[in-house]
Chain A
Amino acid sequence: MIDIALDILSWILLVLGGACVLIGGIGGLRLPNFYTRIHAASLTDTMATILIFVGMMLQAGLTLATLKLFAIMLFLLLTGPTATYALANAALLSGLKPDAGTASDKPKENTPE
């Protein structure tokens, strides 16, 4: 009984995680501005990571593999948003203004530090 409940729960979590990755991917293609696309990519980094990894941890049960999955999830949660921050920071420093009205991505002139 508890096996079936765990199976169903992990199925739901994995499917939801996959849906989050799909939404992140569609957002990365369709959103107009660079900074909005970073928002879409960061959805994959955080929400989808948690959902997919918790789904896999439920499948693995109480073994060493669960601890390893937890460590990998922690690592991804730590480095994913940092990479997003570094990307946005680099774009801002190289002159790309977070202009909500424009639909083009041409960087403005280079502002040296």
Chain B
Amino acid sequence: MIFIFGLFLLTLLVITAIAIVRTKDLFVAVMLTSIFSLLMAANFFILDAADVALTEAAVGAGVTTVIFLCALALTDDKEKPRQGGRWVAFGTVGVLALLIIYATFDKPRLGDPDAPVHQHIAPWYIEKTTEYIDIPNVVTAILSSFRGYDTLGEVFVVFAACIGVLFILGVSPPRKTRKVTEKNSGLRHHLIPQVVGRLLIPFIVLFGLYVQFHGEYGPGGGFQAGAIIATGVILYALLEGESEALRAIPRGVLLGMVIGGALLYGGVGVACMFMGGAFLDYSVLAVDPIFGQQLGILIIEAGVGMAVCGALLAIFHAFAAREVLS
């Protein structure tokens, strides 16, 4: 029964993708991209990837839409004219699609337990998680401990993107700009979103903290938690005006969170080296190696959550504080 649902979701995905490309209005395209991300998250959940579904829903359908809308508000361009010469592109893309479809006939069928991808290292990870680390969520164990280097690189990528956006948008615009007056900012004179938003924001932040600390026991972890907490603060910035949100969490604190998160992760690795193990080998952090692994995972997940939350908020404020060209 779930297969029919999976087929239906995939068909909806294709229809949404074609609608995104065909529409002329950019605002409609951004809204459809958000729906596309949500459908993709549902698809991931059907394919047993709970962590990935949570991340795609929080990051794709939440933060990406907000950043796109900020960029749309700044570039002031809503429509897009047509252009000619489409048949060459159609032809190339059609040939590519046929080639890929021809190549997929060699793949193993869906769910085959004898497929090569399930053979070599994945059963080893599933077995040894109970023996070395002893936490229920295998994905977090692999992400933080067995493949910790990749996650360290990812935190640095997020850090680099944040710094890049702050550099690019740190230059003031070349022409005269129109200041957004205090009266216009925020939804302060709309009563219902304010009331509901004020009710919900503490629970959103609480849920983000829950996801952060339960990353070892169920789907969750640092990335999802950072995205959820950033979404809560962005909701506050939308309701009260962006300067109020900057007063609540100033820019210095945001940058400190990004830098502190990256340093925390690297610092745990260096501390492991000082205590006699290899870089990012958490077993030496405590007397009992299993407890040392769990302690290490807890600290680096906190570092990842801080870095992602700080980076997303800093990027949002960089876009939102930009004055619109008059």
Cβ–Cβ contact A89 & B199, under 8 A? no
List the interface of chain B (C-beta within 8 A of A).
183-184, 187, 190, 192-193, 196, 199-200, 203
Is A113's CB under 8 angstroms from B193's CB?
Answer: no
Q: Of all chain A residues, which has the CB nearest B190?
A: A89
Complex contact B196–A82 (CB within 8 A):
yes
Give Cα A44–Cα B240 distance, bound, in whole angstroms: 29
Complex: how many Å from CA A113 to CA B182? 13
Q: Is the CB of A85 within 8 A of B200?
A: no
Q: Which residues of A contact B196 (CB under 8 A)?
A: 78-79, 82
Chain A residues near B (Cβ < 8 Å): 75, 78-79, 82, 85-86, 89, 113
Q: Are B200 and A79 in contact (CB under 8 A)?
A: yes
Residue of A79, A82, A113 with most chain B CB atoms under a 10 A cut-off: A82
Collect the chain A residues with CB atoms within 8 Å of residue B184's CB: 113
Q: Taking chain A's interface residues, is the majority helix, strand, or loop, or is none over half, making it mixed?
A: helix
- Expressed in whole angstroms, the minimum distance between the Cβ of A42 and any Cβ of chain B is 13
- 19 A-B residue pairs with Cβ-Cβ distance under 8 Å, sorted by A, are A75-B200, A75-B203, A78-B196, A78-B199, A78-B200, A79-B196, A79-B200, A82-B192, A82-B193, A82-B196, A85-B192, A85-B193, A86-B187, A86-B190, A86-B192, A86-B193, A89-B190, A113-B183, A113-B184
Nearest residue, chain B, Cβ from A113:
B184
Q: Smallest CB–CB gap between B315 and chain A, Å?
A: 24
Residue of A nearest to B195 (CB): A82
Residues of B within 8 A of A82 (CB): 192-193, 196
In the assembled complex, the Cα of A82 lies from the Cα of B200 at a distance in Å of: 12
Q: With the chains together, A2 CA to B23 CA distance in Å?
A: 52
Which residues on the B side are within 8 Å of A85 (C-beta)? 192-193
Residues of A within 8 A of B193 (CB): 82, 85-86
- 16 further A-B contacts with Cβ under 8 Å, apart from A78-B196, A78-B199, A86-B187, are A75-B200, A75-B203, A78-B200, A79-B196, A79-B200, A82-B192, A82-B193, A82-B196, A85-B192, A85-B193, A86-B190, A86-B192, A86-B193, A89-B190, A113-B183, A113-B184
